[in-house]
Structure 1
Amino acid sequence: MSAYDIFFAPMVDYGFMRRALVACLCLALGSGPIGVFLMMRRMSLMGDALSHAVLPGAAIGYLVAGSLSLTAMGLGGLVAGLSVALLSGAVSRATVLSEDASFASFYLASLALGVLIVSLRGSNIDLLHVLFGTILAIDAPALTQIGAITSLTLVVLAVIYRPLVAECFDPGFLRAVGGRGPLYHVAFLLMVVLNLVASFQALGTLMAVGLMMLPAAIAQLWAKNLPAMLAVAVGTALVSGYFGLIASYHLEIASGPTIIMTAAILYGISIFIAPSGIARRYFPRPHLKG
């Protein structure tokens, strides 16, 4: 078997593989930068909580549509994710609970509720599709939705980039100059939920956060400044998507988990060989002697 047969033939011969690859490209462009900002703002676990928070809305969309309608499930997931984000923020401000504790509570309740809703009228196969996604079943309307979310994300990030960076590194300064930090925070949370909805359509609720946080963690190990981190995160997510699809095709295994596992392998390698990894820290290069 030649290199062409391994790496290119599946994309050339099958339309569903090309659509899956385009979906991975869109997710890389949108979720990669979002993941970097989540990590810089120390909100990594919040992203995971929100990825599970979309499940009840997606499950209700599934019941209303009567089938695995990605449009209905996406809209339901968007409403559920935004509701959990706003409710968690309100509870943390009205009680002694911290925001992460509030998110964790809502996340557990949402996950349980979503599984119960799907199990009311669906089969085990339907539940697996909701939880782990069906990226190879992405059709043109779903691809359009994912592309639209990615385009909106890039536009919004470009508009709020500077205040978002200021809030990451010095939120006190942003408050001092009247920078409307809460407004940017809400806009950012909206982008997080939208990208989780896009990822959910391809990777399922359990895997949706994978292409958001793993590339961001890899980027932090390899890059020293924010623009470089954004570029590395996008590139890593795209590489993971491409090689994950190729591996799943030849090995005949689930595509979504294979994509995330590819990103996890890249993360494991980066831990050892990246500039900020273990090897450079414990086995530094000797300095040149004059």
Structure 2
Amino acid sequence: MIEILSTPELAQARTTGALVAHVLQTLRERTTVGTNLLEIDRWAQEMILEAGATSCYVDYAPSFGSGPFAHYICTSVNDAVLHGLPRDYALADGDLLSLDLAFSAGGIVADSAVSFLVGSAKPRESVAMIEATERALAAGIAAARPGARIGDLSAAIGSVLREEGYPINTDFGGHGLGSTMHQDPHIANTGRPGRGYTLRPGLLLALEPWVMVDTDELVTDADGWTLRSATGCRTAHSEHTIAITEDGAEILTLRTPTS
């Protein structure tokens, strides 16, 4: 299913996107050395419910997971990159944490993810990988405009990641969204320009470059959800929800520091 949002629905998408951005930024700022992943999940639950929003994850039970997910946010640490199931783990200095958050407000979903280093330790390889996913995300957004094709976005994202030397997995990537979290079209993190669905004003997309240092292979934890690098290397993930407008692309989940 591909939804094209009406003007009132786009207005609600902006509201939802701002809420997702605020919650994600607040969680990032609260997270320090010693913070437990279950504590982050509890904070996310409190903020989502206080906003009158509905989690996209609690009842999420796709074919590739061992559902329902039963938590409010994905917390992926170090070699975990996607669908990190919150668990009883206290973050250590230098841990690389990815937070992925999606919820619905007013009937419209927004989805965003951020990777960052906890504490004062800043391993150079980890910093470079996070920055590469952020640059790839910016390149994908820059390519998004009416008349462009999905392959143009994928090619822009993949070009940045390949230039940095990262292997690219195409099993999981960006996606359409609207009244539900995961819709067509699928947006792989590499591809050929001029291919795929043509973008139209009113289309909502989540772009999400993610990489692993030295592999494109994933393994699934015993929890049935958490996806990790097959080699145990570190990973990073960046994501924004954008709306295609008459003029290009509008980022709906831009984060503004609260302190």
TM-score of the superposition, structure 1-length normalised? 0.24
Structure having the higher helix fraction is: 1
Q: Which structure has more strand as a fraction of its residues? A: 2
Compute the TM-score of the two structures, normalised by the length of structure 2.
0.26
Which structure would you say has the larger Rg? 1
